Structure 1
Amino acid sequence: MIKCQAQPTRLFISVVSCLVYASNSMAAELTVQQLPSPLSWLGEGPVWDTATQSLYYVDITGAAILRYDYAENRTYSATIDGISPISPIILVQGKPGQYVLGTGNKLVLVSWDGRSEKATFEKTVGDLGDSEKHVRFNDGKVDPQGRLYVGTMRLESLGDIFEQKEGKFYRFDGKVGGKFYEQKRDVSISNGLTWDEVTGKFYYIDSGARDIKEFDVLENGDLTNETVLYDLKVDGKNPDFVADGMTSDADGKLYVATWGGFKLLKINPKTKKVEQEIAIPAKQVTSAAFGGPKLDELFVTTAHTNNQEPPAGALFKVSGLGAKGKEMYKMVLSE
């Protein structure tokens, strides 16, 4: 891995970006490394599995599930016959080798050994029904109690996804054939989500809204007291990117991927300020998740839509952030 010094700006290189940032007058070396992986059309939904020391993610339009093996430094990919598109991928508690996937307006359970080129459909877990056939699931994650939260967006084939608000955001009850509890409607593109276990706050991104929202969480998991934590607009004008996926570190700082922005934004929810911009050598930065043996490396997914040149669509690893993530939770799924 090459190490160098540069200002935090857009860097167009194929393998490694090396940046040095200054924070609080203390210099910290930061490296961005391209990992060996297929170039995803629309990479998304990274989730770190401590048990296997692997990062799972999806290629939504490529209809693939992927696993980056940390020890092997290798990425495995699989498709499932009849399942397309795919997003998100959710780890299931007590069921290694089984995963809940979003596909269209359904949630399905699949089995995969993590190496084969094919995974196997097991059963449908949840179905939004005929009234929601015009939407597809997009991003989703599991909270500290093992509850799945997942949102939708209108199908890309139906027109401009930013010029509508037909998506919704749900809490799923965790039972096969179970119920979806609507948390928010009039959503353009349901995207990044994360929790702060210390404050009890929940953070959420609707990409079309150009902001990051904050909620309180009731005991039953329902969301309340919606407020805008951070507005991406400057002087009322939209930036040249939108917020996409999101994660948080052990200190509660948010890491927001920017679709069209070549970067991640590190936001402090207490000050409501951007503390750091992390340059990524791909225009469509889609999401991020902490992982690695010490949970101190940030894995970043990207897309290569519109025939963008490599390394667009690659999986990246950011080291030297001086931050540590949290173990990601697995879904509690019952029959």
Structure 2
Amino acid sequence: MAAKYKVEQLPGPLCQLGEGPVWDAATRSVFYVDINGAAILRYDYADNKTYSATIDGISPISPIILIQGKSDQYIIGSGNKLILVSWDGKANKATFVKTVGDLGDSEKHVRFNDGKVDPRGRLYAGTMRLETLGDIFDQNEGKLYRFEGKVGGKFYEQKRGINISNGLTWDERTGKFYYIDSGALDVKEFDVLENGDLRNETILVDLRVDGKSPGFVADGMTSDVDGNLFVATWGGSKLLKLNAKTKNIEQEIVIPAKQVTSASFGGPNLDELFVTTAHTNNQEPPAGALFKVTGLGVTGKEMYKMVLQE
């Protein structure tokens, strides 16, 4: 039987398009972004307060990536580039430092969306076509990359023909990688080679109901220590707990916002789930808030930081 849980709205601004939460144990903070609001945010667990910063000339923003050995610098995606920024975690302005990676002129029609770091410190990030170019669900121009991990590094393409590159997580015990392309209405599973390349793509869970859309699309994703997947639903007002072994939906976690975008385990014991949401199309509060879910009876995993070489 699924554990009883509690959902709490945390103090902070309502994001136009909140995304990409990542728990930092060192600062006891949740870092996340407002993609369309072009802001990076930090929820301070001890102070129960959220700080927000913008970067002059940088928009949109997604994702935010923590870096090993650099407590005040972060990699963020902006358009078709990965850039390094400096932020003290409290000021309302962050500073552009340098461009770390650039997909080039051939990919100017896309932007980075979701990204995450694997247990070995390697960054994986994917793209989608710019919203200004038309219906984002009527195209498949995104790609998923593994980034070399150094300034000016190479992007290694892992998958193409993607609608909206979204949730990603790993199971360290099995060596499997899980991935969401929102338009595909499923969760995919891959094997990971020693060099980090992805192989043997299969569909783990098809979210269609009788071959049709379930009324939402899968968005961001995280996992717990037992390998269960927690999938955010854009348009579904919930997270789905998926058992990767049985391929069954074991629990639906209701969130008081229609567009649930992503989640990350955090807190001192990694047993609290932090959930981002959006309030596009003038949705009423608390849409756009950051939420905390407790009482799930599961434990999450450490969020990894990127190894970045100069």
Letter in 2 for 1:188: N
For the pair 1:327 / 2:296, whether they are aligned, the reply is no
Q: Which residue of 2 aligns with 1:264?
A: 239
Give matches, 1:234-273, under 5 Å: 234-273=209-248
Q: Which residue of 2 aligns with 1:11?
A: none
Give per-residue Cα distances to partners, 1:103-142, cap 9 Å, x unaligned: 0000000000000000000000000000000000000000
For the pair 1:121 / 2:85, whether they are aligned, the reply is no
CA–CA distance in structure 2, aligned partners of residues 114 and 99 of structure 1:
11
For the pair 1:58 / 2:68, whether they are aligned, the reply is no
CA–CA distance in structure 2, aligned partners of residues 153 and 242 of structure 1:
15
CA–CA distance in structure 2, aligned partners of residues 146 and 109 of structure 1:
16
Letter in 1 for 2:52: S
CA–CA distance in structure 2, aligned partners of residues 299 and 175 of structure 1:
30
Q: Which residue of 1 aligns with 2:116?
A: 141
Give per-residue Cα distances to partners, 1:42-84, cap 9 Å, x unaligned: 0000000000000000000000000000000000000000110
CA–CA distance in structure 2, aligned partners of residues 81 and 197 of structure 1:
38
Of residues 65, 69, 72, the one that matches 1:97 is 72
CA–CA distance in structure 1, aligned partners of residues 213 and 80 of structure 2:
30
Normalised to the residue count of structure 1, the TM-score between the two structures is 0.92
Of residues 40, 57, 60, the one that matches 1:82 is 57
Q: Which residue of 1 aligns with 2:280?
A: 305
For the pair 1:292 / 2:267, whether they are aligned, the reply is yes
Deviation at 1:29, TM superposition (A): 2.7
CA–CA distance in structure 1, aligned partners of residues 88 and 72 of structure 2:
6
Letter in 1 for 2:95: T
| Equivalent position SS for 1:86 | coil
CA–CA distance in structure 2, aligned partners of residues 280 and 241 of structure 1:
14
| Equivalent position SS for 2:106 | helix
| Equivalent position SS for 1:157 | helix
Deviation at 1:95, TM superposition (A): 0.7
Give per-residue Cα distances to partners, 1:237-283, cap 9 Å, x unaligned: 11110000000001100000000000000000100000000000000
The percent of aligned pairs where both chains have the same amino acid is 80
Structure 1 spans left out of the alignment, 5+ residues: 1-21
Letter in 1 for 2:209: V
CA–CA distance in structure 1, aligned partners of residues 211 and 138 of structure 2:
18
For the pair 1:200 / 2:175, whether they are aligned, the reply is yes
Letter in 2 for 1:204: Y
For the pair 1:209 / 2:184, whether they are aligned, the reply is yes
Query: Runs in 1 of length 4+ with deviation above 3 angstroms?
Result: none
For the pair 1:68 / 2:43, whether they are aligned, the reply is yes
Letter in 1 for 2:72: G
* Higher-Rg member (1/2): 1
Letter in 1 for 2:25: T
Q: Which residue of 1 aligns with 2:250?
A: 275
For the pair 1:157 / 2:132, whether they are aligned, the reply is yes
CA–CA distance in structure 2, aligned partners of residues 287 and 226 of structure 1:
23
Structure 2 spans left out of the alignment, 5+ residues: none
Q: Which residue of 2 aligns with 1:31?
A: 6
Q: Which residue of 2 aligns with 1:16?
A: none
Q: Which residue of 2 aligns with 1:3?
A: none
Letter in 1 for 2:255: I
| Equivalent position SS for 1:265 | strand
For the pair 1:106 / 2:81, whether they are aligned, the reply is yes
Q: Which residue of 2 aligns with 1:176?
A: 151
Letter in 2 for 1:217: V
CA–CA distance in structure 2, aligned partners of residues 173 and 253 of structure 1:
29
CA–CA distance in structure 1, aligned partners of residues 211 and 226 of structure 2:
30
